[in-house]
Structure 1
Amino acid sequence: MDDAYSIFLETIGDPMFRQEVPPTSIDRYRGVLPAQLLEFWAKHGWCGYGNGIFWLVNPQEYEGVLASWLDNSELKESDVYHVIARSAFGDLYLWGERTGPSLCIFSNVSRYTHDPVERLPQAMNRAFQAFLLSLDREYLDFDDLFEAARSKLGILNHDEIYGFVPALTFGGPCDLAHLEKVKAVEHLILLAQISPLEPYSFSDF
């Protein structure tokens, strides 16, 4: 796991705004999330990486966000999900109790990618390492706006994202002039209420 973490840091960047994870949170998710993720929390905390382009988060804080996106979606029936990470722009990385890192919600455009293949319990630790190693800054950087947003708006706090105002699904422009620092949970719930969640299709790429 140390090798995977080192590669992750080289790819995404150094940690920032570390929050210690209380033992009660470790206990809450024991047997629910993979042991290596819980060990990662205990060792490294919940925090941002790469000047805030990527964040590992407390799933409990995002339960309302999760419900807002999935309660009226057929995805809710496919697994029990927990938000374990997000990007600076509010992309959500969900962990399925049976399917691991199988669902990602791109909140700004109300789209998702889904890989519903079930994994054996003994494969979940390996799947978490693979998730960390799959990340790269280009993938996390919405429309190549991160550095410009950080320069203009300042670095994000642990409870903030860069959000488009008005939202893209309201027809707002996708440009730096319409980005603001917004509260992550509140803005993500708002986005979930604007437009139904739909799968990405090949024409979207």
Structure 2
Amino acid sequence: MRDEAFQLFIEDVGEATFRTPVLDLSLEKYGKLLPGKLLEYWREEGWCGYADGLFWTVNPEDYDGLADLWLSGTPYEKVDRYHIVARSAFGNLYAWGERNHRTLTIACPTHALIGIDKELRTPAKDPDVAVQAFFASMDRQDFDMKDASKKYLFERALKKLGPLAPDEIYGFEPALVAGGKNRLENLRKVNLFAHLAILRELAAPTVPFARFDPGEL
């Protein structure tokens, strides 16, 4: 049975449109690394794509290489050991710290690490509550991107390029960091892992900055 926090997430984002069951082996592997509440969601919901692929919960093991690549050379590779637990249709990666149980967003399209420095270095009071807050506070617009005219891109990209597979994202070509423009006509459906690895080769991400302050958990 869903708790109130996850139900709030579903009410805003919608039911899953793609689902992969989580094997017991994965639950055992991450049982001592990630909060019990997150594993409970995995067990009940699976790893899923929501809102026609706008937001995905994922197997962290598949993303270990990308997490290491993007955090290498930044202060945060030593602050915590991060595991990617979710991602957006445009390649934003949501990384969970196994020691402090704080979330760092690796915004790959814009080469930014988004978080609150003080919070990232401070253990959450209750990891399970932190998981609930992560899901309950999200809405669809958090996962979308805007074009140069401040119009959201996802629905238009979905209509033009078609739905995403679990290993695909909508990527800008040329990349924004290489002078590309955030326009619908510059979006392509690309392999997630190859595209994000190439983006990291182009430039290092900026140090975290505060997008919002959710308060102490």
Residue of 112, 128, 132 corresponding to 1:129: 132
Query: How far has the Cα of 1:201 moved from its partner?
Result: 5.3
Gaps of 5+ in 2: 147-151, 211-217
Aligned length: 201
1:119 aligns with 2:123: yes
> TM-score normalised to the size of structure 1?
0.93
Q: Could you report, residue by residue, the CA deviation over 1:53-73 in whole angstroms, capped at 9, with x for unpaired residues? A: 110000000011111101221
Partner residue in 1 for 2:200: 192
Query: How far has the Cα of 1:119 moved from its partner?
Result: 2.4
Residue of 133, 149, 170 corresponding to 2:157: 149
Counterpart contact for 1:64–1:189, Cα < 8 Å: no
Q: Could you report, residue by residue, the CA deviation over 1:95-135 in whole angstroms, capped at 9, with x for unpaired residues? A: 00122233111111101122314225x60001000000121
Secondary structure of 2:180 counterpart: coil
Partner residue in 1 for 2:75: 74
Partner residue in 1 for 2:40: 39
Secondary structure of 1:174 counterpart: coil
1:61 aligns with 2:28: no
Partner residue in 1 for 2:173: 165
Query: How far has the Cα of 1:192 moved from its partner?
Result: 1.2
> Which range moved further: 107-116 or 29-38?
107-116
Aligned residue type for 1:178:
N
- Partners of 2:181 and 2:153 in 1: CA distance: 13
CA RMSD of aligned residues (A): 1.5
Partner residue in 2 for 1:11: 12
- Partners of 1:41 and 1:191 in 2: CA distance: 29
Secondary structure of 2:199 counterpart: helix
- Partners of 2:106 and 2:76 in 1: CA distance: 11
Gaps of 5+ in 1: none
Residue of 174, 178, 189 corresponding to 2:182: 174
- Partners of 1:59 and 1:191 in 2: CA distance: 20
Aligned residue type for 1:153:
L
Secondary structure of 1:142 counterpart: coil
- Partners of 2:68 and 2:45 in 1: CA distance: 27
